[in-house]
Chains A and B, each alone.
Chain A
C-alpha cells in the first residue's frame, strides 16, 4: 500500500533523512525504530506532506504523493497522530474529533447549520471505540497527558483512514497506560481493517505489536524485516548496543 523509495531530505547541510526505504502492505502493522535523531519523525513528516523531499519517491496505492500538501494527502486516506501533543486545547473532546469527521465528510465549509447536530453518531462511535465517550464534553486542554494522547489517535481516526501513522503514541505514558493504549490500537486496526505504521522507543511494545519492523539510523534504512530477523541482525545490535 505504501512504498517509500530512497527518500532524502536535508535541513541546510544536515541530512535528516538520507536514503530511507519502506514498504507497507495492506493490513500490516509496521514499526519504525531507531536511536534518537535517526529521522523517524522527519520520515513521517515527509510521508504526510508536512515536508517536501529533496529526492526520492513516496507511493501510496501506486500514486506518487511526494510533495503534496498535507490536506490533500489526508483526503487520500492517510491519517496521523503527532509525537508532540497536537490537539485543539480550547475545544471539547467531542469537538476535537468532530472537526476531523466534518472535514472527512467535506462539511467544513458549511455555514448555516449548527455543527452540534451534525455527524453526532459518527463522532460518538469513534469516541466510544477509544473509550472517551463519557468525557465527551470536557475541554481537551484540561485532560491528563495519557488521555490527550488517546484523543490524538481519536482525531486521526476521525478521518476514516485506510492508513494510520502514529508517531510515538505512548510517549510519556505509564506502563499500564502504554499496554492499554497499544492493545487499543491493535484492536482498532483489526476491527477497522486499517494498515498501521508507527514508531516507538519502547522496544518490547514494538516487538510484540508489529508484523514487520524497519530500522533507521542517521536517516538511512538499515533493515526491514520480521521481528526475529531484526533481532538477529548485527547492524541493529551495533546501532542500539554498540557505539554510544
Chain B
C-alpha cells in the first residue's frame, strides 16, 4: 500500500516518534499530556482544511463549521438520545460530512471570494442557531459534562484514543493525497481549465474533496468532545476558522506535515505565552504579520526548501 511513497528514513523516524508518543503519559506531567492531545485535535482539523485549501485551492474560509457540527452532533447524540455510544461516535463525522455535502453543493457553483462568502454566511447561520437555541443546543452556554465511556475518561485514556484516531486519520489523508484523486485535485488547483480539457469534471472532484475534508473535521470535533467533555457555540464561530487557516499558513500550505507543525507551534505558544501575559492575541497577530511578510511558505515549507537546496548543492558538488 505504501510502496514507493515514503523514504525508509522517514518511516523509521515516524515509528520512533510514535513509540515516544505512546509512552509519554508515563513520563510527563498530566498537563502536558492534555496539551499534546489538544494539539493532535487541532492538527487533524488543520490537516483536513489543508486538503481543500492548500492542495485543492478552494477558499474554504469557514471550515470550522464542520468541526462544530461534528462536535455538536456527538454531544447531542450522547446527551439527548439513548443510542449505543459507538453509534454516536461513528455518526458524528458522517453528520459533518453531510453538512459538507450540503454546504459544498451550495458553494461550489461559485468561485473564490463568493465561494468563501456563502460558506461564511451559511456557517454564521448555524452559529446563530446554536447560539440562541437554549432548549436544544444549550445556547451560548453550550453543553457540559458529557459523559464518556470509561475507556475514554481521564486525560491519559482520552490521550491514547486521540493518538490512535489521529494516526489512523493521518495515514488515510496521506493515502488520499497520494492517490489519483489527490493528484487530480492538485492539478485542478493549478489549472482548472486544463483539467476540464483532459476530461475531469472539476466541480465534482472539488465537492468530493470538501466532503472528505468535512468528514475529518467532524472526527476532530468528536475528539474535542472526548478531550473536553463539552461543546460551545465558539466552535462554530468564524474566528476559529481563521485560526485554522493561520495554522496552515504558519506550517506551510503546500506541504503535508505543515498544518501539524502550525498547530503545534500555535498551541504551544498560546499556552506558554498565556502564562505570562494576557495579551496572547496581540502576539499572535504580530507573529502572523511577520509570517506573512517574511515566511509565506510557512515554517515547514521553509525547512523543506532549505533541505532541498542543500541536497541540490551536494549533488552539484558530487558532479
Binding site for B on A (CB under 8 A): 48-50, 69-71, 74-75, 79-80, 82, 86-91, 95-96, 98-100, 102-104, 107-118, 155-156, 158-159
Residues of B within 8 A of A82 (CB): 193-194, 197
Question: Across the interface, which residues of B come within 8 angstroms of A86, CB to CB?
Answer: 191, 193-194, 197
Known: A91-B183, A109-B208, A114-B175. A103 touches B193 (CB 8 A): no
Q: How far is the CB of A113 from chain B (nearest CB, A)?
A: 6
Q: Which residues of B contact A89 (CB under 8 A)?
A: 190-191
Confirm or deny: B155 has a beta carbon within 8 angstroms of a beta carbon on chain A: no
C-alpha gap A96/B190 in the complex (Å): 11
Query: Measured between C-beta atoms, what is the minimum distance from B134 to chain A in Å?
Result: 41
Q: What are the residues of chain A within 8 A of B199 when measuring CB–CB?
A: 71, 74-75, 100, 103-104, 159
Q: Give every chain A residue within 8 A of B273 (Cβ-Cβ).
A: none
Given contacts A74-B199, A114-B5, contact A107 B190 (CB under 8 A): no
Q: Knowing that A99-B183, A107-B180 are A-B contacts, what are 10 other residue pairs whose CB atoms are under 8 Å apart, sorted by A's residue number?
A: A50-B193, A88-B190, A99-B195, A99-B198, A99-B200, A104-B199, A109-B181, A109-B184, A111-B175, A112-B1
Contacts of B175 in A (CB 8 A): 111-114
Q: How far is the CB of A243 from chain B (nearest CB, A)?
A: 33
Q: Which residues of A contact B187 (CB under 8 A)?
A: 88, 91, 95-96, 99
Contact B4 A71 (CB under 8 A): no
Question: Are B200 and A108 within 8 A (Cβ)?
Answer: yes
Give the distance to chain A from B48, nearest Cβ to Cβ, in Å: 15
Q: Given contacts A89-B190, A91-B190, is CB(A74)–CB(B197) below 8 Å?
A: yes
Interface centre among A71, A86, A87 (most CB of B within 10 A): A71
B60 CB–A CB distance under 8 Å = no
Instruction: Mark each residue of chain B from 149 to 183: 1 if its CB lies under 8 Å from any CB of chain A, else 0.
Output: 00000000000000000000000100110111111
Nearest A residue to B175 via CB reads A112
Residues of A within 8 A of B178 (CB): 114-116
Q: With A and B bound together, what is the CA distance between A50 and B195 in angstroms?
A: 12
Are B193 and A115 in contact, CB atoms less than 8 angstroms apart? no
Query: What residues of chain B lie closer than 8 Å to A48, measured between beta carbons?
Result: 197
A141 to B18, CA, bound (A): 36
Contact A111 B179 (CB under 8 A): yes
B196: CB under 8 A from chain A? yes
User: Chain B interface secondary structure, helix, strand, loop or mixed?
Assistant: helix
Q: Is the CB of A108 within 8 A of B205?
A: yes
Decide: B194 and A103 in contact? CB cutoff 8 A.
Answer: no
Q: A86-B193, A113-B179, A115-B179 are in contact. Are A100 and B198 (CB under 8 A)?
A: yes
Tell me which residues across on chain A come within 8 A of B200, comparing CB atoms. Answer: 71, 99, 103, 108
With A91-B186, A99-B187, A158-B198 in contact, is A111–B181 under 8 Å at CB?
yes
Closest to B174 in A: A114
- Tell me whether A109 and B205 are in contact in the complex, defined as CB-CB below 8 angstroms, given that A103-B198, A114-B2, A158-B198 are known contacts: yes
Instruction: Please provide the 5 A-B residue pairs with the shortest distance between their CB atoms, ordered closest to farther.
Output: A74-B199, A70-B196, A100-B198, A108-B184, A103-B199
On whether the beta carbons of B190 and A71 are closer than 8 Å, the reply is no
Neighbouring A residues of B24 by C-beta, 8 Å: none
Kindly list chain A residues whose C-beta atoms are within 8 Å of the C-beta of B8: none
Kindly state the separation between the CA atoms of A113 and B181 in the bound complex, as whole angstroms. 10
Q: How far is the CA of A161 from the CA of B159 in the complex (A)?
A: 53
| Chain B residues, CB < 8 A from A158 | 198
Report Cα–Cα, A74/B196, bound state, in Å.
8
In the complex, what residues of A have CB within 8 A of residue B122's CB? none
Nearest-Cβ distance from residue B233 to partner chain A, whole angstroms: 33
Known: A111-B176, A115-B179. A99 touches B202 (CB 8 A): no
Is there contact, CB below 8 Å, between B186 and A117? no
Instruction: Determine if B198 and A155 form an interchain contact, defined as CB atoms under 8 angstroms apart.
Output: yes
A99 to B193, CA, bound (A): 13
Whether B319 sits at the interface, judged by CB under 8 Å, is no
Structural contact, A108 and B191, CB atoms closer than 8 A: no
Q: Which residue of B lies closest to A109 (CB)?
A: B181
Chain A residue numbers with a CB within 8 Å of B184 are 99, 102-103, 108-109
> Is the pair A116, B5 in contact by a Cβ cutoff of 8 Å?
yes
Contact status A115-B180, CB under 8 Å: yes
User: Nearest Cβ distance between residue A166 and chain B, in whole angstroms?
Assistant: 12
Would you mind naming 22 contact pairs between A and B with Cβ atoms under 8 Å apart? Answer: A48-B197, A49-B196, A69-B196, A69-B201, A70-B197, A71-B197, A71-B202, A79-B197, A79-B198, A80-B197, A82-B193, A86-B197, A99-B183, A99-B195, A100-B198, A102-B180, A107-B180, A111-B181, A113-B175, A114-B3, A117-B3, A155-B194
B-chain residues with CB within 8 Å of residue A110 when the two chains form the complex = 179-181
A80: chain B residues at CB < 8 Å are 197
Within 8 A of A (CB), among B1-52: 1-5
